[in-house]
Amino acid sequence: MYKCSKESLGALLSAINEKYALYVPKKHGEGSVSSFEAYGDGENMYLSGITDRGIKELFFPQCEEIARFVTANGAFGVKETAVKSGYNVIFGARACDIKGLQTLDLVFLAEPEDRLYKSRREAGIVVSLSCGEPSETCFCTCFGVDPSKSGDIAAIGTDGAYYFEILTEKGRLLIPELSSVCKTTDDDIEAERDKIRAKAALMPAALAAKDLPDKKTDELFDLPVWDKLSAHCLGCGTCTYLCPTCQCYDIKDSKTADGAARCRFWDSCMYSDFTKMSAGQPRLTQKERYRQRFMHKLVYFKENQGIYGCVGCGRCVRKCPASAHMIKVIKELGKADERHT
């Protein structure tokens, strides 16, 4: 394990930034939202809380070109977007967001592998930062996330210092930078970790969601409570677009000067034309769409992949303009458990 003073974090990040493309959480002033950006001059870093936008977009961007079609001299050609090589570093990721990557892996790295996602995943060295200041909307602990330890390297901030523990082979790549600024240590920080875990587990959202529905599709699908829960859903894409595990996308071709570009971009099951076919959208009303999003996270994903499709980041809880969020769903489905037994 490595230890450096709080003041030398800048020196460490600058050292990393010299060798790798480095992304850190930033917030530009009180009125702005926080998100991951290039380290740049290291100004405006935001390390105290979870960011408004997560790390998903560094692996699965909202919009990306996947191929180009070109016609030149009467010949037609397809050019797939080249994958980039080399590593980059993401510092300050939260454990929930990193767990989110695990859910994306189950989708994008399953056959047929998504080459663009895979290349970014292989390139990304993720340094987590422990959550000293969880939000009332945090409920990661309900999904077995450890807010004090995650990623390729786990950084933990204590009163005077940062500790870095290397957790994976990829994490070892940063040993030169770590050794240039930090000292090795065998301090025992387990007690600090326990404090962080305990604090997160006591957040109101974590307490409210501790009984996750453990029911099958059939038992939850037709519950009347979906009407009530979805009644004021606007059908916007806020919850989907901010969610670290939402992975649906659409593909669109558009004309370019010499052919066409094929882009894929995030889609949302909350939209009225999601998976629209010639016969229409299979989920006719907002109730069905709403139910899809939450059942997917809490039931289908678990049935199909073995883990929940929610990681408890609380973003949809904070940002839903109608407050029709995950905690309310979990609680209502929990009551359904009572009704059934």
Partner 1 sequence: MQKQNGTELKNKAKQLLQNKTVDRVAGFCAGEFAYDPSPCVFYSAEEIEENMIYDCFCSPNFSKFLVKETKKPGRIAVFMKPCDTYSLNQLITEHKIDKDKIYIAGIGCDGMVDVFKLRNKTGSAILKASCDNGALTVKTPDGDMTFAFDEVLAERCLVCKSKKHVYYDELLCEPSFETDTGRFDKVEQIEKMSADARYEFFRSELSKCIRCNACRDACPACTCETCVFGESSSGAESRENANEFEEKLFHIIRAYHVAGRCTDCGECSRVCPQRIPLHLLNRKFILDINRFYGVYQAGETVGQIPPLTDKNESDPEV
Which runs of E-coded beta strand occur in 171-241?
183-184
Q: Least CB distance from residue 207 to ligand SF4, whole Å?
A: 15
Q: Which is nearer to partner 1, 63 or 78 (CB)?
A: 63
Which partner from the list ligand SF4, partner 1, none does 45 bind, CB cut-off 5 to 8 Å by kind?
A: none
Which runs of E-coded beta strand occur in the chain?
2-5, 21-27, 34-38, 63-72, 75-80, 88-93, 124-129, 153-157, 161-166, 183-184, 249-256, 259-266
Q: Which is nearer to partner 1, 155 or 324 (CB)?
A: 324
Which amino acid would we find at residue 305?
Q
Instruction: Report the SS3 class of residue 261.
Output: strand
Which partner from the list ligand SF4, partner 1, none does 199 bind, CB cut-off 5 to 8 Å by kind?
A: partner 1
313, containing H or E segment: none
Q: Least CB distance from residue 172 to partner 1, whole Å?
A: 35
- Rg, Å, the chain Cα set: 22
Which positions touch partner 1 (CB under 8 A)? 30-33, 48-49, 52-53, 62-63, 133-137, 199, 203-205, 208, 228, 231-232, 234-238, 240-242, 250, 252, 254, 263, 265-268, 271-273, 276, 317-319, 321-325, 327-328, 331
Torsions phi, psi of 92, nearest 5? 90, 15
Which partner from the list ligand SF4, partner 1, none does 133 bind, CB cut-off 5 to 8 Å by kind?
A: partner 1
Q: Which is nearer to ligand SF4, 3 or 293 (CB)?
A: 293
Q: Which is nearer to partner 1, 3 or 293 (CB)?
A: 293
Which partner from the list ligand SF4, partner 1, none does 22 bind, CB cut-off 5 to 8 Å by kind?
A: none
Measure CA 19 to chain center. Answer: 25
Which positions touch ligand SF4 (CB under 6 A)? 233-236, 238-239, 242-245, 270, 297, 310-317, 320-322, 324, 326
Which of 237-261 are b and which e, b meaning 16 or more Cβ less than 10 Å from the residue's Cβ? bbbbbbbbbbbebeeeeeeeeebeb
